[in-house]
Structure 1
Amino acid sequence: MGEQDPSDRLRGDQPKETKENGTGSFSQFSSSVRTMVRIRQKYLAMKKRRLEIAAVSSQSFVSSRSTTPKVFTFDNVYDPVTSNPASPRKRKKKKKGRVLYPSSSLRAKPTKESSRAKNCLYFLFIIVFLQIYNAIENLDDHVLKYDLEGLEKTVKREVFGQQEVTERLLGHLRDYLSTYVHNKPLVLSLHGPTGVGKSHVGRLLAQHFRSVVGDELVLQYFVLHHCPTDDDIPQCTKSLDSHVSEMVTQAEEAEKIPVFIFDEVEHMPRELLDTLRDLINSQNNNEYLNAIYILISNLGQEDITKFVLHNSSVSVSGRLSLSQELTPWLRSYLQRHHMLFLEAELLPFMLLEKSHVMDCFIDEMSREGFYPDRPHVERLAEELSYYIVGEQEFSHTGCRQVVAKVNLL
């Protein structure tokens, strides 16, 4: 066999290569077809969109030409969204004007001016402060002038068993004497049974105020001594009226407060009570408003005794309020006696217990120079009569018989 011609080999081998590359050429053809289809679809979509935009723009242009002529702009051609009449127009926000501040070098600094009103305000504050301070100092000086601290020490030392009523008495005096100008006089009415210390308190008050304001501004009036009979009543009323008027006038000139102490008020006739009430309620002159009236009596002593004995079972701390419980009833009783007591602050004195009577014996024996032997004092106290309620003993006559007992020693 001879060698083959090269051309024959080429022709013989060609069908074999075509078969082998048939599958690859078909896949390349399908992918290119799909690409051409996608390009055509995109082209048609873009063309359709351009036609729609052109149609909308042409309609808006025609409608604008049919209306009144307007200045032509390119807003409707290139901005179909804003050219649509159905779409709302956006309002342009107004730009706020910028606040321009001058530079630091050109800024005019305010001049500091002194205010006269501010200086006047400071001056007014100083004046008010000085006046208030002066008023407080004057109040303290006015109270110190009457030496109420000394009076308090004396009362606590010499009055036994009446702590509450003495504290109320000193409180009224302290409040009233803290100033000189008043709208009414101070009227204090001391009530209680015999021997509980009412008259003794009156004597201590008279002695103290005589030492601080003078004898001429203190009147200690004993009814049975100054007006003993009924025939002296007209003269007593005139004398009392003139004496009180003279004292208040003198006290007004000296800028002091006079003190009038009336003991044994239960024996005072009605004419004197009326005169005294007119003097207390006098509105003619201001000097009558600056005065202290102290009324001492045993009016209602029987009922006060019953009230204390009935409430004696109350503890010591509770007994301190007995005088406050007794005050409303005592006021209604005294109003029936005379209307003078309407103007008074009532200070009821309680019964004295046996221990208080022994204190009275010790004080009196010390005054007379006797040694206060405790067993001896107890024997002297046993000689007096007492109300016995449970374990408590209240003296019938208080400390009234103590002086007589000590004088017999």
Structure 2
Amino acid sequence: MPKVVSTEPSPVEDKYKQHTTVFSGLQNELQNKLFGQHLVLKAVVNHVRAHIENKHPPKALALSFHGGTGTGKNYVSKMIAEHLYKQGMKSKFVHLISATKEFPHEEMVHFYKDQLRNWIETNISVCSRSLFIFDEMDKMPAGLLDTIKPYLDYYEQIGGTDYRNAIFLFLSNTAGRDIINFTYNKWTDGIPRDNIKLKEIENIIIKSTVNTITQRGLWHSELITKHLITAYLPFLPLEKSHIMECIKDAMVLRKHYSDKDRYRIPGDLIKEVLNELTYFPEHEQIFSITGCKRVMEKVDYVMLQ
């Protein structure tokens, strides 16, 4: 986690690419490219916009993304970065950290705490509007995340620095099984997916995160007990109809079809890719085990034939 010094215009100087364009663009991309995640779409746009347009937010924005593989957690994080910063994920003000890469040894947690503290303070001193993305949160040593509690709290300044303009995204598989069970129960009860409300599932995520048997990530974290997470957002398991849309996007991205021909892609071809993936539960075959994560490689495989 080296110190960052950059000559890139800060998002403050750039006016976040003009607010109206930023948030209409983010909303449109989420609507057109994020499939099956109605709860995430509305919450992300509203929370990010409210935070950015507030000249003096009460605290840093902290969104915790929960769900299984391939449901869109990294995808949404990238969209946020791409719409807030000219250089997107390559911006010097966007910081992605993988728990498995940066914090592999539990016995070094005290060293990691100092490292993490220095990393955040250094980057915030360069740009108060920094974006921090913590991936694989469920694999982070327990207690380590509490290091950043002061930067997420309601302090006007810490050591002369204001941290309230920063954005923190936490990506985790924690509560993934509970989210799946909840979604499956709604399906068996005949309740439309789009009728699921965020309030219904947010408490399930919190309980699962606090009580996870892995004792990692947000387990018993003060970020939860002190109510410093702005929102817990569930990424629901993806159904075949959603995977079909991912297949169409992959076909266009690989230039097998143009964007204007997206809806003319043969159904048999889409079904062939669809059948290369695995679904659950065993008898109903409703949800994709890997979400959209393996769609691109399956498209390549099928098209080569």
TM bracket, shorter-chain basis: 0.7 to 0.9
| 1:294–1:395 Cα change, 3 Å | same
- Report whether the alignment pairs 1:379 with 2:272: yes
- Report whether the alignment pairs 1:338 with 2:214: no
Larger deviation, residues 296-305 vs 321-330 = 321-330
How much has 1:236 moved relative to structure 2?
Answer: 3.0
How much has 1:296 moved relative to structure 2?
Answer: 0.7
Tell me the residue number matched to 1:329: 204
In 1, distance between residues paired with 2:49 and 2:107? 40
C-alpha distance after superposition, 1:211-236 (max 9, x if no partner) = 27982322111112223333554443
- Report whether the alignment pairs 1:356 with 2:249: no
How much has 1:365 moved relative to structure 2?
Answer: 1.5
Tell me the residue number matched to 2:287: 394
| 1:142–1:355 Cα change, 3 Å | closer
Residue number among 39, 43, 49 corresponding to 1:168 in the alignment? 43
C-alpha distance after superposition, 1:28-74 (max 9, x if no partner) = xxxxxxxxxxxxxxxxxxxxxxxxxxxxxxxxxxxxxxxxxxxxxxx
Q: For residue 288 of structure 1, give the secondary structure of its aligned residue in structure 2.
A: coil
| 1:142–1:302 Cα change, 3 Å | closer
1:323/1:350 contact within 8 Å kept:
no
In 2, distance between residues paired with 1:173 and 1:383? 37
Equivalent pairs: percent with the same residue?
A: 28
How much has 1:148 moved relative to structure 2?
Answer: 1.8
In 1, distance between residues paired with 2:166 and 2:103? 23
How much has 1:352 moved relative to structure 2?
Answer: 0.9
Q: Structure 1 unaligned runs (5+)? A: 1-140
Q: Point out the structure with max Rg over C-alpha.
A: 1
CA RMSD of aligned residues (A): 2.6
Tell me the residue number matched to 2:166: 291
Q: For residue 47 of structure 2, give the secondary structure of its aligned residue in structure 1.
A: helix
1:164/1:320 contact within 8 Å kept:
no
Q: Structure 2 unaligned runs (5+)? A: 1-14, 212-218, 258-264
Aligned length, in residue pairs: 264
Q: RCO (CA 8 Å, sep 6+): is it higher in 1 or 2?
A: 2
In 2, distance between residues paired with 1:171 and 1:278? 24
Tell me the residue number matched to 1:218: 94
Structure 1 segment 72-111 matched on structure 2, within 5 A: none
How much has 1:276 moved relative to structure 2?
Answer: 2.2
In 2, distance between residues paired with 1:172 and 1:151? 12
In 2, distance between residues paired with 1:144 and 1:208? 10
Structure 1 segment 223-234 matched on structure 2, within 5 A: 223-230=99-106, 232-234=108-110
Q: Which residue type is aligned with residue 48 of structure 2?
A: L
- Report whether the alignment pairs 1:403 with 2:296: yes
Query: What TM-score does the superposition give when structure 1 sets the normalisation length?
Result: 0.59
Tell me the residue number matched to 2:136: 264
- Report whether the alignment pairs 1:280 with 2:152: yes
1:192/1:349 contact within 8 Å kept:
yes
- Report whether the alignment pairs 1:250 with 2:122: no
Residue number among 347, 351, 368 corresponding to 2:254 in the alignment? 368
1:209/1:259 contact within 8 Å kept:
no
Residue number among 167, 175, 192 corresponding to 2:67 in the alignment? 192
